[in-house]
Structures are given as structure tokens and as C-alpha cells.
Amino acid sequence: MPTVLALETSCDESAAAVVRGNVVLSSEVASQVAEHAQFGGVVPELASRRHVEALPLLVERALHQAQLPLTAMDAVAATVAPGLSGALLVGSVTGRSLARLAGVPFIGIHHLEGHLCSALSGDPAPELPLLVLLASGGHTELIAMRSEGDYERLGGSRDDAAGEAFDKVARLLGLGYPGGPAIEAAARSGDPERFAFPPGRISLPGGGFHPYDFSFSGLKTAVLREVERWRQQGEELPVADLAASFQAVVCRVLVERSVRCAEDHGLNGVVVVGGVSANGALRERLQRVSQERGLALHLAPLVWCTDNAAMIGLAACRRFGAQQQSSLQLGVAPRWPLGEADALYGPPPF
């Protein structure tokens, strides 16, 4: 079992963890969310600066919690794509330096593979092939995983990511950042059927709709129109009902299209990962529908849904097990398809 020190700095969470095989020995996260909240979203320059400040101490704490020295690591891993360039660079340079210092391989990890491994490394391990629904602040994708490291994108959002829609709608409703947890809390006392918001469909050139693609920007505009209508009438905004109705339609389309995609492609299991998979209403709906349809459902434990370094370590242990390591010259990429994750283990593609 390899032991790996892993770093995550792709967005607004600085994190370090020590993972041995499928076991997380320590996981330290310093969230910058509260600081970015006053700007209503992530400020990239500020995120980089906070990673620079936080990372050394987080690394020390992760090793201390695991009761292991740096010299006990078999590899050092860091997220190298996708994400905010400046933020990724902090984790990348720290990871490559520590790997060099310890004389062990450096393993660059694709952030979305990290999210995926948060649900794949359970015991017993989910059986392949699987459909992956990845719903985070930056991505909403449906991916077929037929074997280890083999990813085929089958659909996804054409505009805003699901988490981004939660964040934008929360801002419209005056609920603050990050929007997901705020909307979920407000929705608890709301009526999900009060407003019929559009499910967001992508038209096909020959007629009909794309069965596995999503569009969340029209939904956000529909909420905006409703908010404006109430404001014009000078009435108090029905925040709970708006939040519940918005959340219900997002959950419905995510579940409906994932299930259809899995069934159409003969994939008997569904894995749901990323920040949005922490949503209780989504988890309940997934559980109910997958049971009805006879699909095996795998959800990441709640603590691993949002960004952390444990998931990066889990991914790195799998790559290490496949004898893969990255060049010390590997840089970072703000965008990089998950299907090209294998390229991180050859001559540097960026």
C-alpha cells in the first residue's frame, strides 16, 4: 500500500492529507469561503495568496496527524488541473518541491478524478462499468467509466455548472455564498411546487432535445424574472418557496438525465460526486429513483463531497498502483478534459 502526501489548491480550499491505499490517515482543510463570501464569489488573486499562507502549516499538520515524517511518503501528489491557474501553481510547486526533497515521485492529479475517487474508494469498491455524475461549482458532467482511468464524456452542462447555478440563485435571493448549503437550508421550509421553473433543455438540430445535456443559465434567468416581478409589486420575496422550487428542478433534471444516460448505455451503477452531491434533496431523490430502477448508487461520504486533499490522495494511490508518475516539469492547466487525465503521466502536456 503506497503512502502519499496530497495537496489540493485548485479553488478556495487549501488542503493537505496523508492517504495509504484506500485509507485516509489525515485530512486538513483551511477554507477561504468566509473571506470570499464578502465579494459574492471566489477572487482568484486572493485565493492564491491564502494558499501560499496556509499550505506549509497544513502540510505539517497532515503529517503530524498521520504520525509520519515526510521521509515515510512513497509519493507526493497535488492537483494540477483544472482550476484557477494561480491557485493550482501554489499546490503544484509545493508538491513538486516536497517530492524532490523526499526523493519520491510526484503525481499530478486531475481535480475531477479526485472527486470521483472520493466515491470509488469505498469498501466494497463499486463495480465497473459505472456512470459518473459530477456536479460541482465548475463542472456538471456525465461520464462513463468502463475501466480504471478510462473516461468517456456522454453529456454535461452547456453553460453554468449546477453548483454555479446554486451560487448565482442564492445571490439573487440574498442568501450569500456558497449558495448550495444556503439554498438547501432555505428550501427546507419552502414549497417546491409553488414555482414551475424550466428544466433547461438543449435543442437538437433535427428536432427534439439532447437527452444528457444540461442548461442552467435559463433557469437562473427565470428565477431572476420572478424575483424582479415580486420586487416591482413591492411584495416581500417568498425566499423559501423560490429556493425550494429552484432546488427541486435542479435535482429532478440531474437525476432524470443521469438515470436515462446510465440505462441507455447499459451502465448498472451510478456514482455521484462533487460539491452539489452534498445536497440532501438530491441524495434522497437519487436513492429513491435508483432503487426504483434497480441501479446501484454510490455517493461520496458527505465529508468528501466538497474540495479536500484526501480525495486527491486516494486518486494518487490508484495512479501509483498503476506505476504512473508525473514529470517534475509538469505545469498546471485551468482547463483539461478528464478524458485526457492519462496525459499527466507522460511527457508534460502543459
Binding site for Zn ion (CB under 5 A): 136, 307
Nearer to ligand KG4, 155 or 275 (CB): 275
Instruction: Determine, following the binding rule CB under 6 A, whether residue 11 of this chain makes contact with ligand KG4.
Output: yes
86, 91, 275, 313: which one binds ligand KG4 (CB under 6 A): 275
- What CA–CA distance (Å, rounded) separates 149 from 284? 29
Burial of residue 289, with CB atoms counted within 10 A of its CB: 0-12 exposed, 13-18 middle, 19 or more buried: middle
Instruction: Name which of Zn ion, ligand KG4, none residue 156 binds, using a CB cut-off of 5 to 8 Å depending on partner kind.
Output: none
For residue 156, state whether it binds ligand KG4 (rule: CB under 6 A).
Answer: no
Minimum distance from residue 119 beta carbon to Zn ion (Å): 13
181 binds, among ligand KG4, Zn ion, none (CB under 5 to 8 A by kind): ligand KG4
- Give Cα separations from 85 to 90, 233, 281 (angstroms): 9, 44, 33
Kindly state whether residue 114 participates in binding ligand KG4, applying the rule CB under 6 A: no
Span interacting with ligand KG4, options 25-33, 41-49, 178-186, 283-291, rule CB under 6 A: 178-186
User: To the nearest whole angstrom, how small is the minimum distance from the Cβ of residue 101 to ligand KG4?
Assistant: 28
What is the rounded distance in angstroms from the CA atom of residue 177 to the CA atom of residue 156? 24
Q: Residue 95, interface with ligand KG4 (CB under 6 A)?
A: no
φ/ψ of 303, rounded to 5, equals -65, -25
**Least separation in angstroms between CB 31 and ligand KG4:** 10
Pick the stretch among 52-60, 98-106, 252-260, 269-277 that binds ligand KG4 (CB under 6 A): 269-277
Helices (H) and strands (E) in the chain, counts: 10, 10
**Strand partners for 78:** 7, 108
When the beta carbons of 32 and 136 are compared against Zn ion, the nearer one is: 136
Give whichever of 33 and 72 is closer to ligand KG4, judged by the CB atom: 33
Instruction: Report if residue 307 touches ligand KG4, rule: CB under 6 A.
Output: yes
Q: Which cell numbers hold the place of 144?
A: 462513463
229's grid cell? 416581478
Task: For helices 280-293 and 239-264, give the axis angle rounded to 10 degrees.
Answer: 30
163 binds ligand KG4 (CB under 6 A): yes
Q: All 3 cell numbers of residue 16?
A: 493537505
**DSSP assignment letter at 40:** T
Cell of 325: 508518475
Q: Which letter does DSSP use for residue 156 in this model?
A: E
User: 31-70 mask for ligand KG4 (x: CB under 6 A)?
Assistant: ----------------------------------------
Residue showing cell 494561480? 86
Which of 160/226 has CB closer to ligand KG4? Answer: 160
Instruction: Answer whether 117's CB lies under 8 Å from 314's CB.
Output: yes
Bridge partner residues of 270 (DSSP): 131, 297
3-state secondary structure of 39: coil
Q: Which does 118 bind (CB under 5 to 8 A by kind): Zn ion, ligand KG4, none?
A: none
- 279 touches which of ligand KG4, Zn ion, none (CB within 5 to 8 A by kind)? ligand KG4
* 278 sits near ligand KG4 (criterion: CB under 6 A): yes
Interface with ligand KG4 (CB under 6 A), residue from 8, 184, 213, 241: 184
Is 179 a binding residue for ligand KG4 by CB under 6 A? The answer is yes
113 binds ligand KG4 (CB under 6 A): no
Q: How many CB atoms lie within 10 A of CB 252?
A: 16
- By the rule CB under 6 A, 108 interacts with ligand KG4: no
- Specify the DSSP class assigned to residue 324: -
Q: Where are the alpha helices (DSSP H) in 75-204?
A: 85-102, 111-120, 162-172, 179-187
Contact residues for ligand KG4, defined by CB under 6 A: 11, 136-138, 163-164, 166-167, 178-181, 184, 274-276, 278-279, 306-307
